[in-house]
Structure 1
């Protein structure tokens, strides 16, 4: 997830405190995209809550539900690309763009990672997390490894990849101006289906190749929003049934979850990526029907989504990393998609409260710590 997701432009909320939108450059605030941000953070957190919810994911139905739930990062990347066009492309300033990403994305990542990096190096799990993947021994080398890979906390792997994605924005602008977004998105999509996400999400370059076509498709979708929304309004049910079929097919033939692997290791195509693209369009089609309505719970989640992203691993990571995933709620062997959703909402609620308290304590400076 990245800060573009946290910034749907309107008259009340500029992209950053340093960036105000000139009247001629203002774009209409989209309730549908803002609501989608709120839904997307639920999927992100839910992917990290099935273990404490006691969900074993053994039956075909469980595996199908699991496949529909996982890889919600696709939603965030699509929204990020969509908002890149909707918000930034009309007042493009690469230097300011990267400066703000560094201050409000990378700096919070570093500050929130630091305590865990120190813990990993000095105490950590047994064996230390980094020793499973590398022979680095010096504290500085090990700390750098954690920063580069995002291995410090669940979900933090996204930031190293996201910063590279931000850095590619001049190339994205070039494709946008030349009307060649889909010329690159389609072949990259095929490549992404073959390389999959990296093992343990540690290879930021492989993650970049996996999510880049989704980002480009998000940019293209914003540019062609009117025609796209008309299309998906007519075919959303067919796309939903196809997405479910892909989830069930993957569950039956390949199992449950993201099929992480080395990039050049031959394997089956990744069915979860097209499934999530179809779900993205389905959710957009449904939300667009309520564009005129502001759904306050989703708006609230959207506003704090970036902070929830940064905070929730501080709650979920100890469950599975430090204490070997304890069954805190006595749900072992009794969990399912519904208990997972309940635990997810609980984690989101706690993360939301923590974010609000930090915001009240630090005011605008909280953006340097939690991105909000």
Structure 2
């Protein structure tokens, strides 16, 4: 008996290969995310030109996070996107942990908080529920939590991103958006999720494009990674000399200097990807473990770092009399990551699969 012919579109599509380089990059990205929140307790006073340049290379690691997210969206979901399931999972395993971990701090902000309480600096809302909603919408509850309101909007754009993919229009949209992002900058105190979305959206689209065109991109970055690294360092130094250190957050329509950190971080992302691609066949265990727990570390580490500056006014944790530096910042970073990792592993063992609803892992 002859087998019954199946429609061509009914055949299962091949599963995409696992990329060690991208997985290792996730581990590196979470180090940059945590490091940006550890320089204060490390006693690092960023004053000299060299300090400012190092600081510029260190900050805004969120670009790495968003680039990887875009890359993985194409690599994992582009051939089998079920939008309803995709958004349901993002709600359960991203937004719900954000909400659950924010509630204790929202209650604290409203009932006790610092003096003045954080929300009083940015809003005249007085009703507790309105204030609570403000914290949820802005992510102001804890350091780094601003990313989730923006991230949920980014996830919601999946059908539009798929449309750009099919029409081969990713770069057509990403390049002008990238220029606009350099003018708009990140929002004041990272409170405006829409402005953050405009800033990071081109990075996400570049990540999607990089995955789609990795057979062309990887040979290019493997050849020119050193030139890109030198350019990134030069941008960090130029910003340090002329514009100062760190992200230049501002109101969206206020015209100031261009944001040099965005192209610098995009170049660094490609440099890191090129270097990691040289070791694609190697499994780097520490980075793999960090990658596995990266989202849990993201959710947990602000519970450690935020009190240092919000409650205790940034004590000099290492008693360095404000003589800290990049080395002390790295030391504090790895301590915070280690503590966060242990907490994540403990929660995972206690809650098993249900831990994803609390810490995203």
1:278 aligns with 267
Distance in 2 separating the partners of 1:70 and 1:129? 23
Larger radius of gyration: 2
Aligned partner of 2:148 among 159, 178, 181: 159
Distance in 2 separating the partners of 1:333 and 1:37? 31
Matched, 1:228 2:207: no
In the TM superposition, residue 104 of structure 1 has moved relative to its aligned partner by 0.1
1:16 aligns with none
Distance in 2 separating the partners of 1:101 and 1:331? 42
Matched, 1:87 2:76: yes
8 Å CA contact 2:56, 2:246 repeated in 1 = yes
Q: CA-to-partner distance for each residue in 1:297-321, whole Å, 9 max, x for gaps?
A: 0000000000000000000000011
Matched, 1:203 2:179: no
Aligned partner of 1:121 among 110, 114, 119: 110
Structure 1, unmatched stretches of 5+, are 1-21
Distance in 1 separating the partners of 2:355 and 2:222? 40
Aligned positions of 1:175-254 closer than 5 A: 175-254=164-243
RMSD: 0.8
Distance in 2 separating the partners of 1:331 and 1:316? 18
Farther off after superposition, 321-330 or 46-55: 321-330
Distance in 1 separating the partners of 2:170 and 2:335? 39
Distance in 2 separating the partners of 1:71 and 1:233? 24
Distance in 2 separating the partners of 1:113 and 1:362? 19
In the TM superposition, residue 330 of structure 1 has moved relative to its aligned partner by 0.4
2:7 aligns with none
2:127 aligns with 138
1:287 aligns with 276
8 Å CA contact 2:316, 2:322 repeated in 1 = no
Distance in 1 separating the partners of 2:324 and 2:53? 15
Matched, 1:327 2:316: yes
8 Å CA contact 1:25, 1:90 repeated in 2 = no
1:31 aligns with 20
2:5 aligns with none
Q: CA-to-partner distance for each residue in 1:189-235, whole Å, 9 max, x for gaps?
A: 00000000000000000000000000000000000001100000110
Q: CA-to-partner distance for each residue in 1:156-210, whole Å, 9 max, x for gaps?
A: 0000000000111100000001000000000000000000000000000000000
In the TM superposition, residue 63 of structure 1 has moved relative to its aligned partner by 0.1
8 Å CA contact 2:300, 2:340 repeated in 1 = yes
Distance in 1 separating the partners of 2:89 and 2:41? 36
Aligned partner of 2:62 among 64, 69, 73: 73
Q: CA-to-partner distance for each residue in 1:31-55, whole Å, 9 max, x for gaps?
A: 0000000000000000000000010
Distance in 1 separating the partners of 2:87 and 2:194? 19
In the TM superposition, residue 333 of structure 1 has moved relative to its aligned partner by 2.3
Aligned partner of 1:299 among 288, 300, 306: 288
Q: CA-to-partner distance for each residue in 1:2-59, whole Å, 9 max, x for gaps?
A: xxxxxxxxxxxxxxxxxxxx97441100000000000000000000000000100100
Farther off after superposition, 320-329 or 56-65: 320-329
Structure 2, unmatched stretches of 5+, are 1-10
TM-score, length-scaled by structure 2: 0.96
8 Å CA contact 2:228, 2:271 repeated in 1 = yes
1:316 aligns with 305
TM-score, length-scaled by structure 1: 0.94
1:10 aligns with none
In the TM superposition, residue 328 of structure 1 has moved relative to its aligned partner by 1.8
